[in-house]
Structure formats: C-alpha cells, structure tokens
A = this chain, B = another copy of it.
C-alpha cells in the first residue's frame, strides 16, 4: 500500500475527517508535511494565528495554556491517531493553546485553510464538525464538573476507569496501565505529583487496586466505580469518555 493511501486512511480514521470528501483528504495529503519532534519541543503557541492543524503519528502531545506567573493548565494529552489545533478552523481563531511533544514524536502538519474552506463549502462537513465540537464541549462541561466535585483520589479513579474498554465485561482483576508518566497524569488532572502519589495510595486502599509502576490491577471494578462516581453526575460506564 502506498504512502499516500496510508496517510489517507490515517486521516479518515479520525472522527472529524471520517466522512470528509475524497477531494479534501487528497488535498490534505498533498499539502501535508511530516515532522519529527524531540521531547519538549514546542509545536504551536497559544494565541498565535492558526496556520496548520496536526495529526499525531507517534508519541504524546500535550496542549496547555500558561499564566503570567508560569503555571500551566492542561487542555489535553493527545495520542497517535488524534488531531489537534483543528478547532481553530471552526471559528477562524488563533490557536487556543500551546502544544508540546512530551516525548520524541512524529506529526503530520496540514494547512488549516484547507479545512476551514471545506467547512465553508461543504454542508455535510459543517454539520459533522458541529457534532464533533458539540461532543468536545460536553466533555469540557464534564471536566469542569470533575474539577469541582471530585477529590484527588476520585479524579485518579475516574482517569483509570476511562482507560478501560467500553465493552469491558469482567469486573474482577482487570489489568491496564497508565499510558504516560504519572507526573503528566497528575498535571492533566490538575494536581501536584506529590498529591498524586499520596492520593493513589489512598485509592489503592479504599478501592482495592494494585499498582506496580505504570501497571494497574483493578481487583474489584464495582468498588472502584462506586468510590469514584459517587462524586459525579454520571455513573460508570459514563458516556463522555475521551
């Protein structure tokens, strides 16, 4: 299979571009540039005019905003197969966040004008984008709820529950793993690494988990979801998983 076809398929595997017209996908592939990033490398900067949007081929990308006094608020931690900075196409706005590679990564950069033009000309695409951003907005509402109502231990529990497959059937001895650094998980949840470590210990005791490095064993899914979701408006398995 050709390089071109690979790229087309990759783009089509995203929710936003799944039903995009062939002409758009072709143009995107033609004008795309692959970029290798080293750990810590900044890709785009919050409030800069948006010129490109990106597809992640390899690695983890952190998007965040930074206050004057140097603290960060994480917007998202993104993995291969996901897009970022695509939302600037929806309202022709500057980048809403800074993006940085958290490890050596590889991304595809594409002109955002191709996307925004397509949204302007294709009603299907506009409706699809509407559905997409709608979903994202709901996830943000859910996140705000979490920040407001959950304790640190519950936030971690919620994070772990979201790692599970939607069709999870077993309820005992489920194994999974933190997909990236605990420090980064902590940042994503808006808590300090030290607090994360202590809260995780509390979660182990309270909700019956084992942790070895990044490996997690959930001995009792019901215990975990009960502890975690009592401070949330949704019950496990909740819909707004990212």
Contacts and interface: CB of A to CB of B under 8 A. Distances in A.
A143 B137 CA distance: 12
A1 to B, nearest CB: 34
A71 B231 contact: yes
Total copies of the chain = 2
A69 B148 CA distance: 13
A233 B136 CA distance: 21
Contacts of A197: none
A215 to B, nearest CB: 28
Interface in A219-241: 229-233, 235
Most chain B CB neighbours (cut-off 10 Å) among A73, A120, A129, A190: A73
Nearest to A122: B123
A144 to B, nearest CB: 6
Given A126-B123, A144-B147, A190-B148, A73 B137 contact: no
If over half of A's interface residues share one DSSP class (helix, strand or loop), that class is named, otherwise mixed; here it is: helix
Interface stretch (A88-96, A105-113, A168-176): A88-96
Contacts of A229: 68
Given A67-B232, A68-B229, A120-B127, A144 B140 contact: yes
Given A68-B231, A96-B141, 12 more contacts: A65-B145, A68-B232, A91-B130, A91-B131, A123-B123, A126-B126, A130-B130, A136-B137, A137-B137, A140-B141, A144-B144, A147-B147
Interface of A: 46, 65-69, 71, 73, 75, 87, 90-91, 93, 96-97, 119-120, 123, 126-127, 129-131, 133-138, 140-141, 143-145, 147-149, 190, 229-233, 235
